[in-house]
């Protein structure tokens, strides 16, 4: 080591430089600490979820009857209106019976004439003045005349249309003054008894439902606060409607009132449980939309986050139903998802599941 005299200028410079380096090292600021973000974290549960589907419908009677006259004619009176409660045998409408009365008079006159001719031929046959073949011909003529008279009397009775069972007139299809054909519908009768709701099922839903599936039916007229009626899917049409491409279905209401008004609007809801753990309901705010697909931030070991793609099947209110990408017990971020980066360490604040 080289020695300098105490009063040497080189020694003085070395001391000054060493002092400056020491002072600069003492005043250097330490690096700032890394700020850890706080995020809200939820644990994905494994509870089973339910799938609910609702369809609009209309109340009908289980069996509805179209009532019409058995003979043609002009309607002269309609005795009931839509919504009228009727009894079996009660007159509903009448057509003009004048022509039928003339036909009855004519057929009865022919029947009397044939009966008188038969009586004379029997007397002549008893004295052997006519052959048996001639008598047989008049026997047949008299029988035919009596049958014709009986048929015209029946047709005259058909001019009054009566209810064939107890029920309610659901619709009026003809008015007084209208000329109708035999069998043309005049009324639609909803008999007393079981009620059901007619609905239409889209093509994609018929495979999810089967005959006998339970249903809840809410009648619009009763309001949202009224208890739902219990129903059961009774039938699904085997062919789709050519216009709407939907399948007609009927939901029976065994506990409904016997005279529940037909034509009421209703909502039919089918609820079916899904397999436990197969789907998960998470808040919409937990979804992070990437350029390719939707994802969530999973919190792993050491509270570091990683982006995990997920598949969403549908949305229910403020929740998303996830079918792929999650497992029971996963911890995901459900608030502040847009402020995170991959492999970032966070401070996890547990939220209610």
SS (H, E, C) 165-214: CCEEEEEECCCCCCEECCCCEEEEEEECCCEEEEEEECCCCCCCCCCCCE
310: domain CATH number?
A: 2.40.420.20
| Per-residue pLDDT tens digits for 89-98 | 999 999 999 9
Q: How many CB atoms lie within 10 A of CB 240?
A: 16
- pLDDT < 50: residue spans in the chain: 1-2, 4, 6, 11, 47, 275-277, 353
What the block records as the tokens of 279 is 């789907």
Same domain, yes or no: 255 and 305: no
pLDDT at 16: 54
Q: Which of 273, 296, 315 is the last residue of a domain?
A: 273
Domain that holds residue 220: 55-62+193-273
pLDDT at 31: 58
Determine, yes or no, domain membership for 165. no
Report whether 263 contacts 170 (CB < 8 A): yes
pLDDT at 111: 93
Same domain, yes or no: 199 and 267: yes
pLDDT at 275: 47
pLDDT at 276: 45
Determine, yes or no, domain membership for 21. no
Q: pTM to 2 decimals?
A: 0.54
Question: HSE (CB half, 13 Å, CA atoms) of 334?
Answer: 19
pLDDT at 30: 59
Determine, yes or no, domain membership for 88. no
Q: How many CB atoms lie within 10 A of CB 35?
A: 7
Determine, yes or no, domain membership for 71. no
pLDDT at 3: 54
pLDDT at 90: 95
Q: Which of 223, 238, 273 is the last residue of a domain?
A: 273
Determine, yes or no, domain membership for 268. yes
Same domain, yes or no: 298 and 237: no
Same domain, yes or no: 318 and 343: yes
Rounded CA separation 51/37 (Å): 37
How many independent structural domains does the chain possess?
3
pLDDT at 75: 95
């Amino acid at each position: 080591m080289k020695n300098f005299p105490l009063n040497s200028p080189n020694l003085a410079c070395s001391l000054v430089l060493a002092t400056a380096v020491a002072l600069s090292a003492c005043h250097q600021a330490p690096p700032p600490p890394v700020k850890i973000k706080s995020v809200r974290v939820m644990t994905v549960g494994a509870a089973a979820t339910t799938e609910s589907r609702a369809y609009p419908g209309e109340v009908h009677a289980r069996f509805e009857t179209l009532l019409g006259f058995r003979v043609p004619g002009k309607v002269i009176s309609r005795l009931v209106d839509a919504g009228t409660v009727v009894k079996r045998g009660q007159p509903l409408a009448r057509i003009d019976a004048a022509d039928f009365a003339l036909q009855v008079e004519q057929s009865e006159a022919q029947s009397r004439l044939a009966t008188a001719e038969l009586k004379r031929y029997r007397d002549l046959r008893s004295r052997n003045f006519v052959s048996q073949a001639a008598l047989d011909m008049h026997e047949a003529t008299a029988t035919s005349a009596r049958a014709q008279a009986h048929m015209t009397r029946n047709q005259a009775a058909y001019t009054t249309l009566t209810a064939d069972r107890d029920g309610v007139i659901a619709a009026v299809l003809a008015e007084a003054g209208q000329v109708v054909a035999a069998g043309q519908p005049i009324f639609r009768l909803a008999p007393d008894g079981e009620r059901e709701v007619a609905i239409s099922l889209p093509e994609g839903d018929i495979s999810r439902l089967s005959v006998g599936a339970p249903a809840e039916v809410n009648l619009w007229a009763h309001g949202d606060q009224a208890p739902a009626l219990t129903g059961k899917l009774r039938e699904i049409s085997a062919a789709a409607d050519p216009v709407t491409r939907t399948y007609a279905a009927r939901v029976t209401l065994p506990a409904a009132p016997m005279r529940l008004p037909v034509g009421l609007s209703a909502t039919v809801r089918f609820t079916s449980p899904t397999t436990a753990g197969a789907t998960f309901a998470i808040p919409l705010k937990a979804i992070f939309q990437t350029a390719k697909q939707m994802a969530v931030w999973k919190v792993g070991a050491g509270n570091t986050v990683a982006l995990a793609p997920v598949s969403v099947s549908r949305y229910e209110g403020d929740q998303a139903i996830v079918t792929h990408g999650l497992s029971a017990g996963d911890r995901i971020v459900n608030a502040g998802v847009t402020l995170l980066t991959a492999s970032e360490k966070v401070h996890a604040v547990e939220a209610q599941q």
